[in-house]
Amino acid sequence: MSGKPDTAAGLSRSPADAIAGALRSEGAVAILVIWVAVVIAFTVLNAYWVSVAVMMLVWCYLCTAWNLIGGYVGQVSFGHGAFFGVGAYCTIYLATTYGISPWLGMVVGMALSVVLALAAGYIPFRKGLSHLVFALLTLALAYALFYGVSGVRALGGTNGMFMPLDETGLAALRFNDLWPFLLVIAVFNTVLLLVLQALLNSRHGFIWRATRDNEAAAAASGINLFRSKQLAFAISAAATSVAGGFYAQFVGFIDPHSVLGVHVIILILLFSVVGGTGTLLGPVVGTLVLFPLGEIMRVQLMSLGAGAHQLVYGAALVAVILLLPGGLIGQLRRALGGRWFSGFTLAVPHSVAAGPLPRRHAADLEDGGKILTADGVGRDFGGVTALQSVDLEVRQGEILGLIGPNGAGKTTFFNLLGGSFPPSRGRITLLGQRVDGLAPHECTQLGIARTFQITQTFASFTVAEAVFTAALPGRSFDEARSIAGRVLVRVGLEARRDVPCAELTLSERRRLEIARALATGPSLLLLDEVMAGLTPTEVTSVITLIRGLRAEGITVVIIEHVMHAVMELCDRIVVLDAGAVIAEGLPSEVSRDPHVIEAYLGKRAQQASAAAASDNADNGET
């Protein structure tokens, strides 16, 4: 324990530390690498290789823009060629037809690209469809634009369009020399990297990384997955469109194949994967390594036919996938052990004054009042009925046990309460407000938090970052940091705060699940087998923790197969079997219920139990 006070000043870093951290960030290193390449191009290379350097930085920019949605959010887009083409065509068409500045044309291209991105992402993101569906929809968008533009005479059709050469200078984004183009694209890369570094250090960065690592846990933490994905996709599309506008000015001619062809996304994916996705430096390094190498091979292998140099790209991709998972930068980071490339340092307080756990909506009820009611709730999956018609009440301040044999529908019921999917029938109310059919993040924001039967962690986060991210939606940075500090102490993970989530033991992962749920500020806590696989000592510790939570006014519903813990911990128990409630009452009553014994052990065991009870009665035993 450090004894530092829980104040905003105590949580912030000094300006010197902040500057040092920024200079050591991946964004700063990537910018440095780009400008070193620019200096080399100016001092060493001839005009031909300077033009190659310009195109190399165009691909650096494209890969960096794609990396936001593909690397940091984990949604692989095959449609970025469409946004590249939109930027190129908007710039040339508006300039040739209406004499509009290419800078304004870029803005128009950005706006159109954002509209296309939001339209393409709406259905897969809103409906929670798989990543494959999103990838195929974006690919369809790229092909639709390719063939659509090819048939539009005003856009030159398959013959393409030429950029007018009437004016030169920065305002026209046309120059007689190559070096201004190189400087402009280097500045574009710098601005993009600075913007992305700032975004990744903000609340958006934590939300995007959580979304990439584990969507179920992110939604249960109160994160609006639809909004976070759409925002990242829109920013990525807008940035990609800018590269298209610059390309059109640099080359002076475009046609559907050059700016809308499938080779655009293939090269973006190739350079990004080889360099390392999910890092700011990876796409830059991948492009700087492969693009010049491919150009050299193109010249050397020209006698073998056009496209022979692409064998180099293919070989590099296979080698990285097999030998360097995570790409070149991923391998370098592992080798350095974090001594150079640093991300944002989250300053969660090490100790705080004792205080209550966060509550988004404190239940204004006396103990025993109804906090949640399920009326006739059922769920069907095709022709299979997982839940028949469950009627259940949860009372304020109690610990309610939900037990039953495997496949009884317990976790399905939790999924309905937490918004993972809507019920097929019935209604669920929380403090008088209907919550059935709400999205998981909406249920969390109303005060329902849950853990998962199979622990769901954020693999790229530390323990402190995971709890902080769960506390972040709807709160300020400082407030979320304070909550994370209190919760870590409460669940006994303070000493493991800086350990990656992927390195935790099973017991620690169970506690982290509880910590993540508590950080959201619940009034109703749903615990799904949090004692499964634990030792007796660990089970006793979890029992003590849960009792402490109830003492602070948090209502708990727990699914558990550790029967002695259920009997010791719960005020009431509800038993499910085959999707229906078969018993409800005090632990002592439920444990003797014949229907419960039959559900768990079968009729033979029930008959044997009855026979044993009869023998005991005949012998005068009690």
Residue 74 has pLDDT above 70, yes or no: yes
Residues 309 and 411 in one domain: no
Within a domain: residue 475?
A: no
In a shared domain, residues 423 and 537: yes
pLDDT in tens, 193-243: 999 999 998 999 999 999 999 999 999 999 999 999 999 999 999 999 999
Give the domain extent around 116.
20-336
pLDDT value for 22: 60
Q: Is residue 548 part of a domain?
A: yes
465 within a domain of the structure (yes/no): no
Task: Give the end of a domain, one of 286, 313, 336.
Answer: 336
Last residue of a domain, which of 336, 351, 380? 336
3-state helix, strand, coil in the chain (%, to 5): 60, 10, 30
> By C-alpha distance, which of 76, 84, 85 is closest to 138?
76
Q: Are 512 and 504 in contact (CB under 8 A)?
A: yes
Domain boundary among 290, 311, 336: 336
Give percent of the chain above pLDDT 70. Answer: 87
Side-chain-side CA neighbours of 287 within 13 Å: the count stands at 32
Are 311 and 447 members of one domain? no
Q: Is residue 622 part of a domain?
A: no
Q: Which residue has the tokens 């059935």?
A: 436
CATH number at residue 304: 1.10.3470
Residue 9's pLDDT band, with cuts at 50, 70 and 90, is very low
Same domain, 221 and 305: yes
Calpha distance 201→345 (Å, rounded): 9
> What is d(CA 194, CA 205) in angstroms, rounded to the nearest whole number?
13
Integer CA distances (angstroms), 219 to 446, 469, 525, in order: 13, 11, 15
pLDDT 10s digits, 111-133: 999 999 999 999 999 999 999 99
**Sequence-ordered list of residues with C-beta below 8 angstroms from that of 610, at least 6 positions apart, any chain:** 594
127 shares its domain with 261 = yes
Domain contains 190: yes
Is 509 contained in some domain? no
Question: Taking a C-beta distance cutoff of 8 angstroms, is the pair 465, 206 a contact?
Answer: yes
Measured between alpha carbons, how far is 198 from 86 in angstroms, rounded to an integer? 26
Shared-domain flag, residues 257 and 187: yes
Q: Is residue 298 part of a domain?
A: yes
Q: Give the pLDDT score at 558.
A: 96
Q: Beta strands of 211-293 (E only): which ranges?
A: 253-254
Q: What is the pLDDT of residue 614?
A: 55
β 399-403/448-450 pair status: unpaired
Position 617 scores a pLDDT of: 52
Q: Is residue 379 helix, strand or coil? A: strand
Per-residue CA distances from 390 to 53, 450, 557 (Å): 66, 19, 15
Q: Residue 287 pLDDT more than 60?
A: yes
Q: Tell me what percent of the residues of the chain surpass a pLDDT of 90.
A: 68
Q: Is the pLDDT of residue 352 over 90?
A: no
**Judgement on whether residues 425 and 566 belong to the same structural domain of the protein:** yes
Structure tokens at 282: 């990876």
Q: Give the range with max mean pLDDT: 237-251, 309-323, 484-498.
A: 237-251
Q: What confidence tier does 12 reach under pLDDT thresholds 50, 70, 90?
A: very low
pLDDT of 358 reads 77
- Determine the average pLDDT of the residues in 577-597: 89
Whether residue 217 lies inside any domain: the answer is: yes
Residues 330 and 375 in one domain: no
- Write the pLDDT tens digit of every residue in 302-341: 666 656 667 777 777 788 888 888 888 888 877 776 555 5
Q: At residue 275, what is the residue type? A: G
Residues 195, 239, single domain; the answer is yes
Mean pLDDT of the chain: 87
pLDDT score recorded for residue 297: 79
φ, ψ of residue 528 to 5 degrees: the values are -105, 95
Give the model's confidence band at 10: pLDDT under 50 very low, under 70 low, under 90 confident, else very high: very low
Task: Work out how many domains the chain is built from and give that number.
Answer: 2
Instruction: Give the residue-averaged pLDDT of 67-77.
Output: 96
Residues 65 and 158 in one domain: yes
CATH number at residue 434: 3.40.50.300
Single out the residue of 285, 393, 267, 357 nearest to residue 30, CA to CA.
Answer: 285
pLDDT 10s digits, 443-476: 999 999 999 999 999 998 999 999 999 999 999 9
Does pLDDT of 136 surpass 50? yes
Residue 363 in this model has a pLDDT that exceeds 60: no
CA 371/CA 523 separation, integer angstroms:
9
Tell me, what's the pLDDT at 621? Answer: 47
- The answer on 383 and 243 residing in a single domain is no
pLDDT digits (tens, 9 = 90+) for 410-432: 999 999 999 999 999 999 999 88
For range 261-280, the mean pLDDT: 93
- Residue 316 or residue 168, greater confidence: 168
Judge whether residue 300 has pLDDT over 80. no
Structure tokens at 392: 């259940």
Q: Do 74 and 192 have their domain in common?
A: yes
Q: Please tell me the predicted confidence (pLDDT) of residue 432.
A: 86
Question: Could you report the per-residue pLDDT of 16-58, keeping only the tens digit for each?
Answer: 555 555 666 889 999 999 999 999 999 988 899 999 999 999 9
